[in-house]
Structure 1
């Protein structure tokens, strides 16, 4: 007697994955995950590749859902017309082991990173209406523009990039969304006019050397290894001394290049979970004034939140 193989799980391509992950709902899913004590996320495995890139293997689970993210990151791919991040996320039922979904890895990475920044801005930004400065006009710059417009109601955006063509393309996209957008050629000078800042560069060298405003919220997402950097060390030390620095998770203790290269004790900084749960660590660290610097390095828990968000939408 022959047994029929189980049906293949639904595979969501990039467009379908994006449509299943609206930014406000995804930010809510991230917050719910941070309150869930059943979530477990082991350290990610990073395998160097012969071409200078890395293979990331990132599992996570709660009491209902398990995921594994398999992506490659090759930083110079965009210069050759290829995406820097490629791969998929496999979603399983945590109780019976069934494969439930396959999600497009780069799309989830872009959207969940921006949704985490959105949640941080909801909680920490003193002037969440902007104007918003985006430094780095690639995939993450676009995702953060969309997320902050959808989730915070931002209407004015300034965009800086080493590539004028990339900045102009993102300005055009913002204009199509109905935003007041313009390219700026000096990101340091633009900091003075923007209480919301997102740095989403390739983080191969310092991109920002000026100090953000005293009422600024900064989401720094480009540097996610100890050797990457976007913000000058002296600026990071100033932010730690005069404002509040928050990291996305404890994985940042050994991955937050901007902060590590500034010589800061990253392990002593509060995490986004501390903020959401209002822990004693957060109450000790928060200041009533001064800039807020949110350092995001990535975590498989964010991908689990995205999977939960997709499954919840499908069940409604």
Structure 2
């Protein structure tokens, strides 16, 4: 659902940019409370993983494909504020390096793909886990539903933005029907990917899943006919619970997906591209400012072999995203640590 330049007029694009900048600023402050020494590098990995999976377009209808938006996945794994930042990093890398998503439309894309998906998905996820049984299976069910709804919700917000600032004269009702219809199908794929990923991480390291914090029910034993709480086990020190294995596994998975599996992704236009072509809202689309980038269109310039070109571009994208994301999240974490450090007051003489 990467909106290109020319779909939305300049005033509305600017307004969306202000909204996106405000959301990022709020998220930078909120992420300080979500990140710690273990999750800061994992947040960068989540951004890189989402970048990789977004390269894997899957067919959803005749001549139409879809790809992960990632807001639900990021919010559940690393928290809603950090999730907005993860998607923003991915969109920034895609726009600057790969000419995917217009640069003047960056605010629209962050608002639609980042803010809306994260807010809708995490609100629904938290609501479901409060009413479902306190089990791991409930978390995967909640993640499925949250991701499923977040995608058509983003489609609705895009349609609202188009209704205000669209550059073509196409009835909004037709755009809304087409966008919600195709993105409901894409949402199913998003839900499956999100559920499987969240389930896999919960299976090996539930302590690293932000959405699972505080949900463990205390164990009980029946003593003399009454249920009593089992004393809590002594927590394992943070230093002893290394995240290196999870980080390495996640990075290798992202590299394989972007560098190899992406070659087999569907070549059909995604949901927004298909609707734009069918309804005529792409008549004023503009060339991307980064169209001459060496990595434009997810290929390395001057490499003729499509498999090698696309795979190498994917690997470069994953590496750049994980480095940029990790650097940003470590900086946010260190800023929080510095701000929270007690001020030394010298003793009076």
For normalisation by structure 1, the TM-score amounts to 0.27
Q: Larger % of strand: which?
A: 1
Q: Which structure has more RCO (C-alpha within 8 Å, separation ≥ 6)?
A: 2
For normalisation by structure 2, the TM-score amounts to 0.25
* CA radius of gyration, larger in: 2
Q: Larger % of helix: which?
A: 2
